[in-house]
Amino acid sequence: MNLKIIIALIMLCVVVNINFADCPLAHTHIGVNPTWRPDWSAPGNPSLATDPDPTDDNKLWFFSLPPVHPLAPTPGWPNWEQANGDVFLQLVPVLDGGNPIMKGDTSGKQLWTCQFMYSKSGGYGDPAGVQHLGGWHSAHGPQGKWNLASVDQGTTPVWDIYLKREGTSVASDDFFMLLPNDTAVLTADGNTYQLGKEWLSDKNAWGFHEHMSLNFWLTPDIGQKVTATFSAYDAGDLHTASDNFEFAFVTVPEPASLLLLGLGVIPLLRNKEKKCNA
């Protein structure tokens, strides 16, 4: 089935639990200075911070929700993983009227997306938790040590951050990302995507904030483990390129609280994007 038809079908048919349309959303953060760490018991105290490699202060890196996040610190921070290294991110099937959305070839594969609620106190499925996984956000961390260069609102920074899809554990066309305007991006290894810089008034700094969903065509089996790997680079040559960052997922049954789940949840978030910066 043509991807545009599938997207249109999802938009028409999806019924979403209201908790999945509420903020906050979990984002993958991209910043600089990957080896600098605060003391999480006093993250604002510079005398307690450590930096074993001061030569990487301008190097880009990715990280998940940090230990001081009020609702959903990622157990295996800075990676999206459990504290013991096991898979943290979950994929659920996208359903149309209770039926899976099929790829439309002879593979028997159906559409899965990374969409779940989580909190430290309530675990998976907590309606008061944080919706995972919503997109990308510039880092605005303790003491500003992870922040991209920013002077003031009137001075546009020279950095120009791009995502690059490095690889996936599945066939190339079995993984893609979807923007809120229903455009599929990063559909093949080597594809890049520019993260648009903007003045973020809530951070009083330049950065970026983009929503997109992570989607796979997979067989119906529960417990499948798959990965997608990305890097980031600065076309403005202010910051050096990141190391590769791997997202690992496992397929789980659809949440009992949902009648239908689909990529159409993303457009429901359009009007809340500026407020969702977890």
What is the mean pLDDT for each group of 10 consecutive residues in the chain (278 residues)? 48 31 76 98 97 96 96 98 98 92 94 96 95 94 96 97 98 96 96 97 96 97 97 97 98 62 36 46
The single-letter code of the amino acid at 229 is T
Q: Give the pLDDT confidence score for residue 11 in this predicted structure.
A: 38
Tokens describing residue 102 = 């099929």
Cβ contacts of residue 105 below 8 Å, gap of 6+? none
Backbone angles phi, psi at 212, to 5 degrees: -160, 150
Whether 227 contacts 67, CB under 8 Å = no
Give me the DSSP letters along 214-255. EEEEE-S-TT-EEEEEEEEEETTSSSBPPPPEEEEEEE-PPP
Whether 15 contacts 260, CB under 8 Å: yes
Q: Which of 230, 39, 14, 29 is nearest to 111 (CA)?
A: 14
What are the tens digits of pLDDT across the range 110-159?
A: 999 999 999 999 999 999 999 999 899 999 999 999 999 999 999 999 99
Task: Indicate the pTM of the whole model.
Answer: 0.86
What is the pLDDT, as a whole number, of residue 134? 84
Of the candidates 135, 195, 188, 191, which has an alpha carbon nearest to the alpha carbon of residue 164? Answer: 191
Residue 55 is classified by DSSP as G
pLDDT at 13: 32
Which residue is listed with tokens 């510079």?
46
Q: 264-274 burial, b for 16+ CB within 10 Å, e for fewer?
A: bbbbebeeebe
